[in-house]
Amino acid sequence: MQKLTDTIRTYVESHYPVLYLITHEESEADQLINELSEGRNIIEWNMARGLVNFKTTQPLLDWCDLAAALDNLLTRDLSETEYFIIIRDAHLGLKDQPVAIARLKALINRILSDVDAIVTIFLVSSHVYVPNELKKLITLFDIPLPNEQDIRDFIKKYANSENRKLTINNRDLTKLALTFQGLTRYEIGRLLDRAYQRGGNIGIEDLDLVHSEKAQIIKKSGIMEMLTVREKLEDIGGLHNLKPWLQQKATIMNDWSAARAFGVEMPKGVMIVGMPGCGKSLTAKATAALFNLPLLKLDMGALMGKYVGESEGNMRRAIQVAEAVSPCVLWVDEVEKAFVGIGSGGSGSEVATRLFGYFLTWMQEKTSQVFVIATANDISALPPELLRKGRFDEIFYVDFPSRSERIDIFNVHLKCRNKLSSRIDIGQLADKTEGYSGADIESVVTEAIEQAFVDNRAELDTGRLLAVIQATHPLKEVMKTKVDEYQKRFAEMKIKKASKS
């Protein structure tokens, strides 16, 4: 936080006219502005009370909307002393308010042209809303939520303040602090109150309170879903390079504080690209179960939304929510959809490029325990920067299963339906299913079982399964041209194979 304060101070001292502070904790923004003010006058506009003196909270005018408040500020002589002007909940004051936007622009231009007017305007909001007219004049800053160390200090201070009991060892305190990450100080304070009321203590048993609070956050966000998963690594047939890799990451994620103390880097995530129906989604689900973490699914198609302009805000919110819920697995499905049109110069191109930049920076700088699994079918739409190492820990290519993988997959699907028997020659089935995806194989099994049931509950055997195989068209055949094109591209890009060759 000190680093951010120092950075913002350099902007104030260099007379940047408008600084936009994005925060869910107004009190943090207030504290920061207070620290920077050094005796300046501070005028605040807020929706509830209009124009007030920030320090004394005394009203300066009768209530007025932002447009009227800015009109008043435009008539004031701002050159006598240095001023800070705070516009709280800026998105509320500016959205669809052309007069307020025009007056804000006029005020900024005055500040820029009048050498005597030493004024900094702070827009404070939990949302980013930057009108096009002001884009070039505004600088954005994200005020981070408290980090692990801040939270440890916060918990200790909370316990000390009222001589409350704090019977927690250091390791559990770290675990609790890591789980609290992503919540605001206010939310943490309320949860600590509840923990005390419940048990007269703060301890590791209070983790469940934090989890239920986080589930609330996801529900409120409305752009992601939290999936309940039962899939296990054993439910995936084949992919013998990818599975041990995930197992290694699981060892780290499951005991993160020890791993970190040992010097291990926080895993960032994995990108899994390749053929549809070959186990990418299945792997995302099994990974969350393996890591013992909640799985958040972010659907890129849905995030891009009907209105291009909304997607940027949606992306920021999704990332904030994932961080709030961390530790978690964030599954970004159809990641290629976000990047369609980058560099094309079309109207969506600028948004897509910004969105992409934001996502990349987040991936690069991320310190929270959010393990990202990005899945994509169509790699041709993915910008090379995304595929560069360093963003993800690894990129895997999932191809159609080999013969031995098909044996594995038949085994998985027959076994989970209690249909493994000596009447089924899986080797023969594998021979006849070259070019079938895992999903194709699964539907062969389910179709054959259904037919056997209808046929007087006959026992499932090789003959029936082979008949179904004969009657089906695997995806590789149906989408031949597209599949050939994908395979060529994957080979060119030399992406690591998820299967052992």
Is the CB of 239 or the CB of 270 nearer to ligand ADP? 239
- 133: which 2 tokens? 């007219």
Residue reference for tokens 């100080």? 185
- Distance, CA of 185 to CA of 191 (rounded, Å): 10
Q: Which amino acid is at 134?
A: L
Three-class SS of residue 445? helix
Spatial distance between the Cα atoms of 195 and 179, rounded to a whole number of angstroms: 14
* Closest to ligand ADP by CB, 188 or 303: 303
Residue type, 128: V
Nearest to ligand ADP of 161, 418 (CB atom): 418
Cβ 30 to ligand ADP shortest distance, Å: 46
User: Minimum distance from CB of 246 to ligand ADP (Å)?
Assistant: 13
In angstroms, rounded to a whole number, what is the distance separating the alpha carbons of residues 51 and 63? 7
Pick the closer one to ligand ADP by CB: 180 or 400: 400
CA distances from 27 to 6, 12, 76, 249, 323 (A): 18, 20, 28, 38, 20
CA distance 332 to 338: 10
Shortest approach of ligand ADP to residue 443 CB, angstroms? 8
* Nearest approach, Cβ of residue 449 and ligand ADP (Å): 14
Work out how close the CB of 412 gets to ligand ADP at its nearest, in angstroms, rounded to a whole number.
5
Measured in whole angstroms, the distance separating CA 12 from the mean position of its chain's CA atoms is: 31
Whether 440 and 474 have beta carbons less than 8 Å apart is answered as yes
CA distance linking residue 447 with residue 453, whole number of Å = 10
In the complex, the smallest distance separating the C-beta of residue 32 from ligand ADP, rounded to whole angstroms, is: 44
Nearer to ligand ADP, 120 or 375 (CB): 375
Nearer Cβ to ligand ADP (312/442):
442
Q: What is the Cα–Cα distance from 250 to 289, expressed in whole angstroms?
A: 10
CB of 395 to ligand ADP, least distance (A): 15
List contacts with ligand ADP (CB under 6 A): 236-239, 276-282, 375, 409, 412, 438-439, 442
Task: Give the nearer residue to ligand ADP in terms of CB position, either 221 or 437.
Answer: 437
